[in-house]
């Protein structure tokens, strides 16, 4: 046994680290276990995009309101944990701009026409590499480089065993393992839910090019300001888990992104990540049936946007507080 935290979080993606930082901010001692290396969260563009995600999904007002409430947790969350939040809005280029503005208005989002398309103040962004670093350094959070191989529980606590032979104990465990296979020892219903998470591969390219004033999006393509220039993304490849970059696709996307920007630039190596999705596109967040077991999984295209909301639901569950207004929609066992 190497230590005894209050909570062990398995997985250091955005959901695991947001949950860890939230819990530590509430006074819990939290250990996060992850082997390290790239994941979906480090591949992402960092958009907090309730408006444009709803526009491209042709979403409902209820879903739009949930995503907006998730976004509205960000200012307090970012300030508490030292992330820089860019509230610079988004520009959209596409056909039938009046119809797009009307659709956004019907879902409760502000937008207005510009000469080239529309602009909306509703979508924000964070820088993903700096954000993950800040969350991992939150006071009260300890990150351990290891891979969890097995879980088991007695009446009081969880035993967490790593593949390198280390063991930890805690009253609460948060499973935030992205699209990984279920860890050995999970209760059958939870293992089935984890095993049913659907992978969607995504690829984007960092490009050293002059950034636009705010994220710039069009059908199937976005250009987002980022450290060193912009990122241009992203593919949506259902059912794929492989992470070898597709250089031909990257070159075509970068060419389209530079044309959209009207600029020149040099592309870096593409980043690939695997998003996890549930049938309704919302994450699995909160207490599972087993005492002390909590899930923070499968936020699909909106892991960054939904990070603070998932973290609040997980922390409320661990503290036995009354569930917030969005906990039922994210019930981790709704598909069990």
Which CB sits closer to ligand FAD, 25 or 178? 178
By residue count, the chain amounts to 336
CB of 327 to ligand FAD, least distance (A): 18
Q: Which two structure tokens, joined as six digits, stand for 298? A: 């499968």
Which CB sits closer to ligand FAD, 11 or 25? 11
User: Cα(291)–Cα(16) distance, rounded to whole angstroms?
Assistant: 19
User: Cα(157)–Cα(166) distance, rounded to whole angstroms?
Assistant: 16
Give the residues lining the site for ligand FAD (CB under 6 A): 10-16, 33-35, 39-41, 43-47, 147-148, 176-178, 180, 183, 202-204, 233-234, 273, 275-276, 297, 299-305
CB of 265 to ligand FAD, least distance (A): 18
CB of 116 to ligand FAD, least distance (A): 22
CB of 201 to ligand FAD, least distance (A): 7
CB of 97 to ligand FAD, least distance (A): 23
Question: Nearest residue by C-beta to ligand FAD?
Answer: 13
User: Cα(39)–Cα(206) distance, rounded to whole angstroms?
Assistant: 16
Which CB sits closer to ligand FAD, 72 or 155? 72
Which CB sits closer to ligand FAD, 120 or 177? 177
Which CB sits closer to ligand FAD, 3 or 147? 147
CB of 336 to ligand FAD, least distance (A): 19
User: Cα(262)–Cα(248) distance, rounded to whole angstroms?
Assistant: 21
Which CB sits closer to ligand FAD, 73 or 305? 305
CB of 73 to ligand FAD, least distance (A): 13
Which CB sits closer to ligand FAD, 50 or 265? 50
């Amino acid at each position: 046994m190497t230590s005894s935290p209050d909570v062990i979080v398995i997985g250091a993606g955005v959901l695991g680290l947001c949950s860890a930082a939230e819990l530590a901010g509430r006074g819990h001692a939290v250990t996060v276990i992850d082997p390290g290396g790239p994941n979906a969260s480090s591949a992402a563009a960092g958009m907090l995009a309730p408006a444009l995600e709803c526009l491209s999904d042709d979403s409902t007002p209820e879903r739009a309101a949930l995503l907006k409430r998730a976004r509205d947790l960000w200012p307090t969350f970012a300030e508490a944990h030292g992330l820089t939040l860019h509230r610079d809005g988004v520009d959209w280029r596409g056909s039938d701009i009046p119809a797009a503005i009307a659709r956004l208005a019907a879902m409760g989002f502000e937008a207005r026409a510009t000469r080239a398309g529309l602009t909306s103040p509703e979508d924000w962004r964070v820088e993903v590499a700096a954000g993950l670093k800040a969350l991992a350094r939150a006071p009260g959070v300890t990150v351990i480089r290891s891979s969890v191989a097995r879980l088991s529980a007695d009446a009081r606590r969880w035993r967490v065993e790593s593949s390198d032979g280390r063991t930890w104990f805690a009253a609460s465990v948060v499973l935030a393992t992205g699209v990984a296979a279920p860890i050995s020892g999970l209760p059958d219903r939870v293992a089935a839910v984890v095993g049913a998470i659907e992978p969607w591969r995504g690829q984007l390219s960092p490009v050293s090019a002059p950034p636009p004033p705010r994220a710039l999006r069009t059908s199937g393509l976005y250009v987002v300001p980022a450290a060193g220039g912009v990122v241009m993304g992203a593919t949506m490849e259902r059912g794929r888990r492989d992470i070898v970059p597709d250089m031909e696709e990257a070159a075509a996307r970068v060419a389209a992104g530079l044309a959209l920007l009207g600029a020149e630039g040099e592309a870096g190596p593409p980043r690939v990540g695997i998003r996890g999705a549930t049938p309704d596109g919302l994450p699995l967040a909160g207490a599972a049936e087993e005492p002390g077991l909590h899930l923070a999984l499968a936020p699909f295209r909106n892991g960054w946007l939904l990070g603070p909301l998932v973290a609040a639901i997980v922390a409320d569950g661990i503290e036995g507080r009354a569930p917030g207004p969005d906990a039922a929609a994210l019930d981790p066992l709704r598909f069990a």
